Structure 1
Amino acid sequence: MSRPGTTNDSRHQRLLANRYQLIELVGSGAMGQVYRGEDKLLGGVTVAVKFLSQALLNNRMRERFEREATISALLGERSNHIVRVRDYGVDEKEIPFYVMEYLQGESLCEIIKFRPLSLSRFLKVTRQICFGLECAHKGIMFEGEMCPIIHRDVKPSNVLVVHDPALGELVKILDFGIAKLVQSGEAQTQSFMGTLAYCSPEQIEGKELDSRSDIYSLGIMMYEMLTGEMPIFPENSSFGGWYEAHHYSKPKPFPTKLNLPEALEKLIMQCLAKASNDRPQTITDLLNSLESLEPSQPESCQETLVAMPTMIADTPNAKKSLAKAEDICLKMAWPQDKPRQKIVFPHVMRASEGTFASLWVMLDQQDILNRMSSIRYNQFVFMTSPHPMILWLTVLYHREHGPRWLPCYLDLKTPSGQRFARLLGELGSYWLLFFPVEGTDRCQHVLTTNIAPNQCKNLQEWSDKSQLMRGGKPQITKRMLRQEFEKLKPTILARLEDVNTNPSRPQDIATF
């Protein structure tokens, strides 16, 4: 879509449905126009309003437009990686529109126009695309049955990358305008729809499609994300030229200078197979293969050399040592290789008298101040299959401001993960270092928290046992631990609220 800043269009600045104040035209294309607006009913929340083009006002296109809104609305409720639709209607001229979340970011097309993605960024972005497509392919409940959704137009311009303060780069899949809702017993139309450069061979023939067609399109996009080039190119850009290319042209090999993992190159080439049976059969299969290529410990246990004692005891010397330790913590700087956003990661700190474990946290300045009088709680969850990993959960609970969840993960098939788990068990405590998102890169506040004795024992045993276990797919285990984390939240929160109503309870809760 083009993105003009102003327009003389008659819709400019008018109130739609007595609720949505249109501000400016922000995009236009063959299917319609998109405006930035404000939802007056909800206090001026910024929204995007998409109108069907007046040139396409026929019953068939109206039905397709309404179906696009329905599909996006249902999928957006199930996946954070699909644009969310909030409302649908028809204006006074009988032109249909729908209202969606307003997203500020760059399309993937714009991002890779001048420079391909690094491998690490590619994996992060592609995983999120897969999560969105996985949700679509699993389907939505429509007219009493579960109906898979085939996007049919997977391409870089239909992927938006926005900045989320908590998640960093957040990927959103756009434009389900030609998506196919697959209902049982329904014959698919034998016609071509899509973008020629990204079409599967079966799609360009107008054949019946399934999720493997989107996988082919994603394969082309993955190649382009890593190289900046298309894997196949026709003799001319006509329909016939692209037909020949998709059916008979062999994809170009990856440039050797990229030094990509061989397994990744093979996976992308598999996605580009001419026959759908030769591709990964589901997005879930593709996602699992991608996750096995990611670094097993993205939240690395870094090590810093500092002259800092680790004694924690109620003696004058210990208190003096703690004061010195806190003073040194406050001089620590946020690592240059870490993004300045709300994240948490473990950090091993070496001292003249030993080592100790710490958790480095970046939050808004006010949030940091709010957490200094919080109840501190920690819990450790160990999962052995398919890959041994620990969910290390720290919670800071404040009666007025609620909980601040600080989860991170220790991969017990890496030496650093094993050392860190064993260190936590040996010390029975760890430090929390707080850094502000805005302003200085120096640590602003420090807290310590204890670990229950039984959990200390578990941490050391888990570290030892993991050396004898077989590794699997760490990202699958991490996903399972995230699900377990969501299940634990209500129970933990109830316990913290109970402690808050009993002031005699300790402020530092160590549990298992």
Structure 2
Amino acid sequence: MRDEYYGRLLVQRYQLLEIAGKGSMGQVYQAKDTLLGGVIVAVNFLSRSKMNQRVRDRFMREATISALLGEKSIHIVKVRDYGVDEEEMPFYVMEYLKGDSLKEAMQNQPMPLPKFFSFMRQICLGLQCAHDGIEIDGNVTQVVHRDIKPSNIIIIKDATLGELVKVLDFGIALLKSDESPTGFMGTPAYCSPEQMDGKALDNRADIYSLGIMMFQMLTAELPLKPKTSSFDGWFQSHHYQKPKLFSEVRAKLDLPQALMDIVNRCMAKTAEQRPNSVTEVLKVLEQIEQNSAPLTTQSQSYTANTPPTVEAICLQSIWPKDKPRAEIVFPQLIQYRETEIATMWIMLSRSDIEKYRNNKPHSQFLFVGSPHPMLLWLTTLYQDEQQHRMLPCYLDLKKPIGEKILQILNQTGSYRLILFALEGDERCVCTIEGKVPTRKMQLLKEWLLESQNTGANHGQIKESKRSLKEELDTLKPKLVASLQRQISKKH
């Protein structure tokens, strides 16, 4: 819907469009960033009705916390700018996220387990980043969100990740360096007993809220039912009412016992009885998922006492439904225990896969820093001068996945090719491990630093990509000759 601010040009840069929603302290507008070619952003204004110095300070702190956390995790909304308009109204600019909240995604029915595990993994990674802390004035300070609930989680379509989940609204977040609690703040249905009391909090308050939300995702119902929906009604329920049993809510859910146990632990009335960290919750959920998921015929077998290998996890990959069945290449991150693996997903004919599956891939990188920082990650599967496949993969280093993959390649020097057959089903056929030579890892480190210190110019992405393609066309004959010499020396 539109209001009187439609079309207004904010600080000679952001052209306000429609109201996109509400934050914890004000109105959020969809806007065009005219400086960057009309890129759509979200502008969050502090409400006039809350215009006092204390709230202004908190609003600026929300922007600061979100900006710092958004740079550390792709699972937290990114903040791009902060300022005040000509009427001294504070605002900050965020990435515009077009998607559904978790509340909308649940659709009042139990969520399928594969989707539950995927969403929870990403939510936990976002919260883990907050709980690990941000550096303010030279000190690392933990952040407690205090308002974890389905409406503060958004799911957006992503070309590489399929569905990307982000945690929103750090408007009432608590820094552990705060000298004293600020009384009760939060959403009563999801608040821990100690939060209802207005006591000092730590990360386990968020874990309680996470437990409430997980129960709701799995059953489509809240675990507590107060006598009234007033603050006092919820206060009594969180302090004294036992959460519903899963069997009471949905007799035919057939959930793993370990999953019900971890949800119940998160909802414990006292913080000491809950898991100590989101990392612990994440590990348990991943183990449950691994133990309950069927393996493909190519996967390596494992038991509850033997965690799956990287190979086994990669072999469970399924071709995304939003990708065409064609000979294409794209980057992807795969979660493995507490880390992520850099992978390149490739669809080829089955004959090509059989031809190259036992060959060692060769990696080459080309970089352009302007007008927009991009990396060409080129992997070549080689038999001889006539039989080789070059697999170009372009990484936008101003996108979270591009930056993250470059970081992983620089830090670990390893990656996986995930191969799918054109003539087959959606399951992975095989994987190939690749290594980045040490001399190239130093280059990657330099390029990563340069890209982080270079501004984005999204309107010129095509120009950067064209430059990389031209450079690749020039280098192709030299690359093939170089590979031929390397292989000849080995033989």
User: Normalised by the shorter chain, which TM-score bucket?
Assistant: 0.5 to 0.7
Q: CA deviation at 1:7?
A: 2.0
| CA deviation profile, 1:274-307 (whole Å, cap 9, x unmatched) | 010000011111111111111369795457xxxx
| CA deviation profile, 1:340-382 (whole Å, cap 9, x unmatched) | 33677799x999xxx99979xxxxxxxxxxx9x973279xxxx
Q: Could you say which residue in structure 1 is the equivalent of 2:190?
A: 198
Q: Could you say which residue in structure 2 is the equivalent of 1:278?
A: 273
CA contact (8 A) 1:358 1:431 kept: no
User: Which one-letter code corresponds to 1:91 in the other structure?
Assistant: D
Q: Secondary structure at the match of 2:2?
A: coil
Q: CA deviation at 1:500?
A: 6.5
User: Which one-letter code corresponds to 1:505 in the other structure?
Assistant: S
Q: Could you say which residue in structure 2 is the equivalent of 1:34?
A: 28
Q: Secondary structure at the match of 1:246?
A: helix
Q: Could you say which residue in structure 2 is the equivalent of 1:88?
A: 82
Q: Could you say which residue in structure 1 is the equivalent of 2:286?
A: 291
Q: Could you say which residue in structure 2 is the equivalent of 1:120?
A: 114
Compare CA radii of gyration and give the structure with the larger one. Answer: 1
Q: CA deviation at 1:23?
A: 1.3
**Is 1:221–2:213 an aligned residue pair?**
yes
Q: Secondary structure at the match of 2:59?
A: helix
CA contact (8 A) 1:50 1:98 kept: yes
Q: Could you say which residue in structure 2 is the equivalent of 1:152?
A: 146
Q: 1:70 aligns with which of 64, 68, 77?
A: 64
Distance 1:113 1:104 in 2: 18
| CA deviation profile, 1:63-96 (whole Å, cap 9, x unmatched) | 0100000000000000000000000000111110
Q: Secondary structure at the match of 1:192?
A: coil
Q: Could you say which residue in structure 2 is the equivalent of 1:363?
A: none
Q: CA deviation at 1:189?
A: 2.5
| CA deviation profile, 1:14-40 (whole Å, cap 9, x unmatched) | 111111111111113562111111111
CA contact (8 A) 1:81 1:170 kept: yes
Q: Secondary structure at the match of 2:92?
A: strand
CA contact (8 A) 1:163 1:169 kept: yes
Q: Secondary structure at the match of 1:87?
A: strand
What is the 5 A alignment of 1:356-505? 375-376=380-381, 396-398=390-392, 490=441, 501-505=478-482
Identity %: 45
With over 3 angstroms needed to count, the CA separation of the structure-2 counterparts of 1:73 and 1:374, relative to structure 1, is closer
With over 3 angstroms needed to count, the CA separation of the structure-2 counterparts of 1:503 and 1:122, relative to structure 1, is closer
CA contact (8 A) 2:109 2:220 kept: yes
With over 3 angstroms needed to count, the CA separation of the structure-2 counterparts of 1:263 and 1:296, relative to structure 1, is closer
| CA deviation profile, 1:417-436 (whole Å, cap 9, x unmatched) | xxxxxxxxxxxxx996565x
Structure 1: unaligned runs, 5 residues or longer: 1-5, 304-334, 360-370, 379-393, 408-429, 436-441, 456-480
In the alignment of these two chains, the number of paired residues is 377
TM-score, scaled relative to structure 2: 0.67
Distance 2:485 2:321 in 1: 29
User: Which one-letter code corresponds to 2:122 in the other structure?
Assistant: Q
Q: CA deviation at 1:141?
A: 0.3
| CA deviation profile, 1:432-458 (whole Å, cap 9, x unmatched) | 6565xxxxxx68xxxx9998xxx9xxx
Q: Could you say which residue in structure 2 is the equivalent of 1:143?
A: 137
User: Which one-letter code corresponds to 2:25 in the other structure?
Assistant: M
CA contact (8 A) 1:301 1:346 kept: no
What is the 5 A alignment of 1:335-350? 339-341=321-323
Distance 1:431 1:31 in 2: 45
Q: Could you say which residue in structure 2 is the equivalent of 1:54?
A: 48
Q: Secondary structure at the match of 1:80?
A: coil
CA contact (8 A) 1:191 1:207 kept: yes
User: Which one-letter code corresponds to 1:290 in the other structure?
Assistant: L
CA contact (8 A) 1:81 1:132 kept: yes
Which stretch has the larger CA shift, 189-198 or 130-139? 189-198
Q: Secondary structure at the match of 1:172?
A: strand
Q: Could you say which residue in structure 1 is the equivalent of 2:263?
A: 268
Q: Could you say which residue in structure 1 is the equivalent of 2:95?
A: 101
User: Which one-letter code corresponds to 2:176 in the other structure?
Assistant: V
Q: Could you say which residue in structure 2 is the equivalent of 1:477?
A: none
User: Which one-letter code corresponds to 2:243 in the other structure?
Assistant: P
TM-score, scaled relative to structure 1: 0.64
Distance 2:380 2:220 in 1: 50
With over 3 angstroms needed to count, the CA separation of the structure-2 counterparts of 1:400 and 1:28, relative to structure 1, is closer
**Is 1:187–2:179 an aligned residue pair?**
yes
User: Which one-letter code corresponds to 1:85 in the other structure?
Assistant: V
Structure 2: unaligned runs, 5 residues or longer: 299-316, 324-329, 333-343, 359-375, 406-416, 446-471
